[in-house]
Chains A and B, each alone.
Chain A
Amino acid sequence: MSSSATATATQTFPVERVRADFPILATEMNGKPLVFLDSAASSQKPQVVIDAIAHYYQTDHANVHRGVYALSQRATDAFESARATVAKYINAADVHEVIWTRGCTEGINLVASSYGQRLRPGDEIVLTTMEHHSNIVPWQLLAQRTGAVIKVVPVTETGELDIDAYRALLTDRTAIVSVVHVSNALGTVNPVVEMTRLAHGAGAVILVDGAQAIPHEQVDVQAIGCDFYVFSGHKMLGPTGQGVLWGKRELLESMPPYQGGGEMIDRVSFGGTTFNTIPLRFEAGTPNIAGAVGLAKAVDYLRELGVDNIERYESTLLAYATQQMSEIEGFRVIGTAAEKHSVLSFLVDEIHPYDIGTLLDKQGVAVRTGHHCCQPLMDHYGIPGTVRASFALYNTTEDVDRLVAATKRSVKMLR
């Protein structure tokens, strides 16, 4: 990208105003102004989200769904209106299709445990080489319990899924496909619309892990057409411990409960218990009410800025970072897919990622190093891991410049 194009995109997005909304960005790390490039692991939080959580506890808190008093009603309203905000954001057909979870991982485990009960020996689960461990292990556990078989879609050298191989793996025994929307380790955006169409053609259901997609693009679950879509709030400016499982109503209604407890029941007796309707059937115990309130505020914040604007700005930043870093001798990008979001995974020569990450930390630059919970993917590339810089709406070209300078200095020390 030309420097004038970078300048134009940078000028149209109000990044300085955005940065001022995130108090942590004004802090230091190891005595240097913080350059935070680990948003793919967890994003920082704007003041409005922090305030919304504090305000909820200061004025609205009581347990939800069972109080006859006004305060409990207020808490319930806040909680359920948060659900409606999220449902609208992802274009769910029905607010009841939004199930609160602790995060993406719990959403996958819920589907694997509950929907997975209908799997029979020899049924096939299709995953891909680029899945996060949290989209591998729950299915392995399910396969152990049921005798189902896991099939894996290979990844090409550029870090894209081999769609022909995917097509060939789909059979009449395929029960579930579970695929990441955007790779956390590579940034690759996968063709989930086409993959959904193909899965349905084979009579399978498909779950899309949207953890890395939802902070960076407008997700429309009906446009994708998938059966389940899961994500975490903490990667999209919301609090930790709050996530979402969206599922098609008729599927969720056909699924047995995941955990037992309060909220999820209709009537309990020792003779037999009947269960609540969705979404509460899948929300045993007192939920993370403040988490829901905080997440809804994060969604409002993203909407006000416009997710399309954010996506455009971030893609400019990624292109700029890729270009600037490429000037470092021995630099190579891991994951060069045509379509990527906000992740620059790299190595320099044979230098170990841990060494670069350690020296970047000393210079105030926060990146992630290692296998990024994607060991099968690292094995595919034959590397122990990568250094991963990931960008969010509050990062600037100055952040990129600091990354480049700090990487150059680190590499010089390590060579």
Chain B
Amino acid sequence: MTLEQRQQEIIEEFETFDDWMDKYEHIIELGKSLPLIDEGYKDDDHLIRGCQSQVWLHADPAGDRLKFTADSDAIITKGLVSLMVRVLDGLPAKQIAAAELDFVDKIGLHEHLSPTRSNGLRSMVKQMKLYGFALDAQLNAADHAR
């Protein structure tokens, strides 16, 4: 699935919820079912410190693509983290670096990316894009060297 298709799928999934409670129950479920990051990666090197909650993010390059695993100490943040991972996981690095994540707005969860929340999510998205940017730059440099 493309980035756009993935975002569209999530938007449609959230359209079925009538109120905030259903929506958050779904996010909490997602949080509970997110495959955990390998315990070995839950260290300071992988920690994205938020004021309110914390996120751990690990990126694995596979060719020109990036695989992500992540975790959070707060379950709602973890649910949102799982949505981000679902949208960006396995995409080409170049696409990750340039990704416009408008699905967050469309499912009415924009507030969780607000800097005042400081839950680690905003910084995590930034970090995912930076990983994408770095891998892409690395691949380009290797191309030029050839």
Contact = CB atoms under 8 A, between A and B. Distances in A.
Interface of A: 30, 351-355, 357-359, 362, 369-371, 384-385, 413-414
Interface of B: 20-21, 24-25, 28, 51-54, 73-77, 119
Contact of B75 (A355, A370, A371): A355
Contacts of A355: 28, 74-76
B77 A354 contact: yes
A370 B21 contact: no
9 contacts: A30-B20, A352-B74, A353-B52, A354-B77, A355-B74, A355-B76, A362-B24, A369-B52, A385-B52
Nearest to B120: A354
Given A358-B76, A414-B75, A370 B24 contact: no
Nearest to B31: A355
Contacts of B74: 352-355
B115 to A, nearest CB: 15
The interface centre, meaning the residue of A354, A357, A413 with most chain B CB atoms within 10 A of its CB, is: A354
B46 to A, nearest CB: 17
Contact of A354 (B21, B24, B52): B52
B73 A370 contact: no
Q: Which 4 A-B residue pairs are closest in the complex by CB-CB distance?
A: A352-B74, A354-B74, A354-B53, A354-B52
Contacts of A413: 21, 24-25, 28
B7 to A, nearest CB: 23
Given A354-B53, A369-B52, A384 B21 contact: no
Contacts of B75: 351-352, 355, 414
A340 to B, nearest CB: 25
A354 B24 CA distance: 13
A246 B123 CA distance: 41
B24 A352 contact: no
A353 B74 CA distance: 8
Contacts of B24: 358-359, 362, 413
A374 to B, nearest CB: 13
The interface centre, meaning the residue of A352, A370, A413 with most chain B CB atoms within 10 A of its CB, is: A352
A371 B51 CA distance: 8
Given A369-B52, A370-B51, A370-B52, A352 B21 contact: no
Contacts of A371: 51
B73 A384 contact: yes
Contacts of A352: 53, 73-75
A351 B51 CA distance: 17
Contacts of A30: 20
A354 B54 CA distance: 10
B119 A354 contact: yes
A414 B20 contact: no
A414 B77 contact: no
B136 to A, nearest CB: 33
A370 B24 CA distance: 20
B20 A362 contact: yes
B52 A414 contact: no
Contacts of A385: 52
A93 to B, nearest CB: 41
A91 to B, nearest CB: 38
Nearest to A31: B20
A234 to B, nearest CB: 17
A254 B20 CA distance: 59
A233 to B, nearest CB: 23
Contacts of B54: 384
Nearest to A384: B73
